Structure 1
Amino acid sequence: MATNTLHSSVLGLSLFALLFCNQALPASENLSPTEGASNTLPSQQEQLNDAAWAIDWELGWDSKYVSQGRNNLDDGGIYWMNTAVEFGNLTAYALVGRGDNQNYTEWNLGLEFGFNLTENLETTVGYQRIEVTGDYRCWDNEIFAELAYTTTPWLVPSVSYVYSTEMAGYFVELSLHSDWELSEKLSVAPYISQGFDFKYRTKEHDGRDHLQFGLEASYAFSDSINLTGHISHSVALRDIELEAEANGDRRNQNQSFAGININLGF
């Protein structure tokens, strides 16, 4: 659900598996003191304390709540607030979304771990718990992973995977992003993505779900304050069309939407 919405952001979105911080002390220093250890250990511990912790706070709004090519709300858009605490490569977060014109509230509580498989292959794995309240109530547990190949910033291919325990299905998305710095403060990133549904959104149909493309922009007011926005269009493909047909919905299933976020880092 919301893991795609704040994807960049939170994006970014929003929606887990955990490991340990790779800045731990060598085993020999942990087991027994050696000559000179009194000078080495405090220095390493000070570096760990200074560099490992970070807190991010984000507030945003989307004109529609679109995920997996579908508008999840009958009316209006959605406000988002996300708080994330990072320690090394491990991030814990709490994301809440609230409909601006509909009785809908969604919580995403999660844990994710990021690491590099190789120098240019970035990996994220994680878990999140989703709770929805409002006119109806539902919940889910999701396990997700993402791979991104970052050799060239102007063309970054990635693949993401999410598994739902409630639906016993998964969703795969292939994406291409192209990052361009227009100035020291302003950057833009056109993107395109192709989604495939395997019983994650519909039990009856598998395969091509939607094609989405758009433009993301980011403006840095300072080192700790960043404004981001996007404009996106999603084209419904076979899985969404069959779902709409089964529900008797003859409306155009394509979605156009936009959003804006402000991020504070500490």
Structure 2
Amino acid sequence: MALGIQGDLQTQWQSRYVTEGRDNLPGSSLFSVNAGLSAGVWQAWEEGGPYRENNLYLEYAPLLGDWRPYANVTYLQFHPDDPDDVEVGAGVSRPLNRIVSVALDGTWSRRAEGSFYGLSLIAEKALAEPLIASLRVTQTLDHGYASKAYNGLNNTEAAVALDWSARDHLDVYAGWQYSWAGEDVRRDGGDDEQWGEIGLMLYF
């Protein structure tokens, strides 16, 4: 068994701040910066608005052959008004062949006293030596995490992305995602959502 230890510094802009199929900042985009190794910090700012979010996390990710499990704990701060939270996450992924892999992820929230799960199929293919295209399809399930009114199918997401290795240890990426609202999202008054993102990733 080996430890999958790799540091990174990432900065990203996304046109909408959508999580769990819900637009958290209607009509606003989000800037974020992440720096981490096995512990790290993620900070985000609403473009032109007061919202701020800080996440401090610890993660353990051993390498077990083809299996890629992980476990983490995150302390979340939401400004200016929402109370803090602590979340525990775990998941595992495994390649099915040279292009396609499958992943299962779960998160439990202390504040919500609920959990949220996602099952994904991910395909990656090199279009040229420095350029990689990816496609991800995810089905999610809510159990008291995003909504207390209904437990069940939450949303289905599809994401496409291009990742360009601009130079050693530096990637530039862009992506687009679409979320089809499930019963859980619609009962909360939500609908289908789509958004894009661009960013830089520096590995060390």
TM-score bracket relative to the smaller structure: over 0.9
Which of 1 and 2 has greater Rg? 1
Is the CA contact 1:213–1:233 (under 8 Å) kept in the aligned structure 2? yes
CA distance in 1, matches of 2:93, 2:2: 20
> Which gives a bigger RCO, structure 1 or 2 (Cα 8 Å, sep 6+)?
2
Greater helix percent: which structure?
A: 1
| Alignment TM-score, normalising by the size of structure 2 | 0.94
- Output the CA distance in 2 between the equivalents of 1:261 and 1:66: 16
Cα deviations by residue, 1:236-262 (Å, 9 ceiling, x for unpaired): 010011121xxxxxxx61101000110
Q: Does structure 1 residue 182 correspond to structure 2 residue 127?
A: yes
1:60 to 12, 15, 29: 12
Cα contact 1:75–1:101 (8 A) shared by 2 = no
Contact 1:75 1:102 in 2 (8 A): no
- CA contact under 8 A between 1:172 and 1:197: conserved in structure 2? yes
Determine the C-alpha separation between the residues in 2 that align with 1:215 and 1:110: 27
| Match of residue 22 from structure 2 | 70
- Describe the SS at the equivalent of 1:137: coil
Query: Would the aligned equivalents of 2:127 and 2:133 in 1 still touch at CA under 8 Å?
Result: yes
In the alignment, structure 1 segments of 5+ residues that lack a partner are: 1-20, 24-51, 86-90, 245-251
Residue matched to 1:125? 71
Q: Counterpart in 1 of 2:193? A: 255
Query: How many residue pairs were aligned?
Result: 204
1:7-46 pair list within 5 angstroms:
none
Counterpart of 1:247 in structure 2 is none
Aligned partners of 2:84, 2:72: CA distance in 1, in Å?
17
In structure 2, what is the Cα distance between the partners aligned to 1:157 and 1:82? 25
Q: How much does 1:22 deviate?
A: 5.2
* Cα-to-partner distance string for 1:189-245 (whole Å, 9 max, x where unaligned): 11110010000011110000001102011000112111112101001010011121x
The residue correspondences of 1:97-108 to structure 2 (distance < 5 A) are: 97-108=44-55
Per-residue Cα deviation, 1:87-117 (whole angstroms, up to 9, x for no partner): xxxx111000000032100001001011134
The DSSP-based 3-state class of the residue aligned with 1:240 is helix
Indicate conservation of the 8 Å contact 2:2/2:63, yes or no.
Answer: no
Q: TM-score, normalised on structure 1? A: 0.73
Counterpart among 84, 102, 109 of residue 164 in structure 1: 109
Q: Please give the per-residue CA displacement for 1:157-193, whole angstroms capped at 9, x wherever unaligned.
A: 1110000011110000010000001111000011110
Counterpart contact for 1:215–1:232, Cα < 8 Å: yes
Letter in 2 for 1:113: Y
Q: Which residue identity does 1:109 align to in structure 2? A: L
1:234 aligned onto 2:186? no
Higher strand residue share? 2
Give the structure 1 partner of residue 33 of structure 2: 81
Displacement of 1:60 in angstroms is 0.6
Which letter maps to 2:46? Answer: G
- Where does 1:193-208 land on structure 2 (aligned, <5 Å)? 193-208=138-153
- In structure 1, distance between residues paired with 2:94 and 2:183: 29
C-alpha distance in 1 between matches for 2:52 and 2:2: 36
CA RMSD in angstroms comes to 1.7
Q: Hey, what's the Cα distance between the residues in 1 that align with 2:16 and 2:108?
A: 23
Q: Distance in 1 between matches of 2:85 and 2:2?
A: 31
Counterpart of 1:241 in 2: which secondary structure? helix
Q: Distance in 1 between matches of 2:192 and 2:103?
A: 23
Whole-angstrom CA distance in 1 between matches of 2:126 and 2:160 = 13
2:171 aligned with 1:219? no
Q: Which runs of 5+ in 2 are unaligned?
A: none
Structure 1 residue identity aligned to 2:9? W
Match of 1:264 in 2: 202
